[in-house]
Amino acid sequence: MNEGLCADIKLANDFQPDMMRIVRKYNLTDDVRFFQVRPMEEQKALTLCYNPGQFMMVSRLGVGEAPFSISSTPSRPGLLEFCIREVGQVTQSIFRLNENDSIGVRGPYGNGFPMERLKGRDLVITMGGLGAAPLRSLILYALDNRDDFGEIYLLHGAKKPGEMLFKTEFFDMIERKDVNTMLTVDADDTGKWPAKVGLVTTLFKDIKQIDPANTFAAICGPPVMYKFVIQELLKLKIPKNQILLSLERRMKCGIGKCGHCVVKHIYTCMDGPVFSYWDVINMKELIY
């Protein structure tokens, strides 16, 4: 046996979920629900730290575990927030939980956005559908540390008004002078949508005040969105290695063991979920 493994230290079990309490839950859309949770152990709540763009493994007793992006910002400590869409067994079961129920959570995992490298840069943040989940963390963090960043553009597209996540929050942002918020829907079935109508790609023509060489872009959305948004960002002359994508994969462990998220030698859970476009340019499996 390998002597290196013999150390008699009781290792922390990285698979062990911590029990957390659901503090708030409410519907964001018909099938996406917002959950705010807090560790049961006060010390854990106080020391919770993570990066925007990281994810956690959320467990529902008796059903299973799945990865979810963190939607809250580390600049507002003590709480974790998730937007969860009802798509599978685990999420359906989480949907049925109520405030004050307990839930298992472990993490944070993944690299998250390189916040140090983003300092002093202009940001173009593009989100579609559930892509708002990780990018809300980034935008809130940037706004809480507003002096650290240059121009900030926030582009958010949804299929229709009823499907836009964090609508109220983002409409409030439109009022703010220190962030350029552009919201659009593919089609307005309500007839009352006060913002733009059209694909998210139509918003890019209004991006005027950035210095491309000093700009980082962040994208998250459904797989079809990446290709077209990347084209727009390249037209703006943002360097490929400054276009950051947050990707989704099936995961069973979050720590590079179970193999499900592997693409070539890349583990989405460990090396990602945030990749630069340059990282993935020759690995089409990563995006599509």
Partner 1 sequence: MANQLPRVGIYGLTGCAGDQLTIINCEDEILALFGAADIRSFVMAKSDNTEDEMDVAFVEGSVSTEEDLSMLKDIRKRSKILIAIGGCASCGGPQSGRALEKNWKDRIKQVYGNTKFEIPDAKEHQPLSAHVKVDGVIPGCPIDKGEFLRAVSRIVNGDMPIAYKYPVCVECKYNENECLLLKGIPCIGPLTAAGCDSVCVNHNIPCVGCRGPVIEANVASEYKLLLEKKFSKEDIVNRAMMFGGVKMAELLENLKGAKK
Partner 2 sequence: MRVLKLRKKDLKKMLEKISSFGELWAPVKKGDKFAFQKIDNLNDVDPNAGRTILPLKKFMVPPRFSMFRYDKDGYHEQLGEVTDRVVFGAHACDINGLLILDKVFAEEFSDPYYIERRKRTAIIGVSCVPDEFCFCKETNTDTVDEGYDLFFSELGDDFLVWVGSSKGDDMVRAAEELFDENISVKDIQKFIEWKKWRETQFKMDIDLTAMPDIFELKIDDKVWEKIGEKCLACGSCSMVCPTCNCFNVTDTVALGKMEGTRDRCWDACTLHEYSLVAGGHNFRGSRADRMKLWYTHKLQAFIGEFGKPSCVGCGRCITTCPVDINVKTVAKTLRGEEVYFK
Contacts to partner 1 from residues 66-95, by CB under 8 A: 89, 92-93
CB atoms within 10 A of CB 26: 9
Q: What is the DSSP letter of 158?
A: E
Rounded alpha-carbon distances, angstroms, from residue 183 to 158, 171, 198: 8, 8, 10
- Taking the CB of residue 213, how many other CB atoms lie within 10 A of it? 11
Cβ distance 44 to 86 under 8 Å? no
Which does residue 249 touch among partner 2, partner 1, none (CB within 5 to 8 A, set by kind)? partner 2
The reply on whether position 45 binds partner 2 by CB under 8 A is: no
What distance in Å separates the CA atoms of residue 147 and residue 20, rounded to the nearest whole number? 33
Q: CB 198 → partner 2: shortest distance, Å?
A: 25
**Least separation, in Å, of the C-beta of 89 and partner 1?**
6
DSSP state of 60: E
Task: Assess 223 for contact with partner 2 (CB under 8 A).
Answer: yes
**Positions in 238-257 near partner 2 (CB under 8 A):** 248-250, 252-253, 255-257
The residue range among 150-158, 170-178, 226-234, 258-266 that interacts with partner 2, by the rule CB under 8 A, is 258-266
Q: Does 262 bind partner 2 (CB under 8 A)?
A: yes
Window 74-113: contact mask with partner 2 (x via CB under 8 A): -----------x-xx-xx----------x-x---------
Tokens of 114: 């390189």
- For residue 27, state whether it binds partner 1 (rule: CB under 8 A): no
Query: Distance between CA atoms of 26 and 39, rounded to whole angstroms?
Result: 19
Residues 6+ apart with CB under 8 A from 137: 52, 53, 69, 70, 71, 72, 73, 74
Q: In this complex, which beta carbon is closest to partner 1, that of residue 63 or of residue 143?
A: 63
Binding region for partner 2 (CB under 8 A): 1-6, 11, 13-19, 59-66, 85, 87-88, 90-91, 102, 104, 223, 248-250, 252-253, 255-260, 262, 264-265, 270, 285, 288
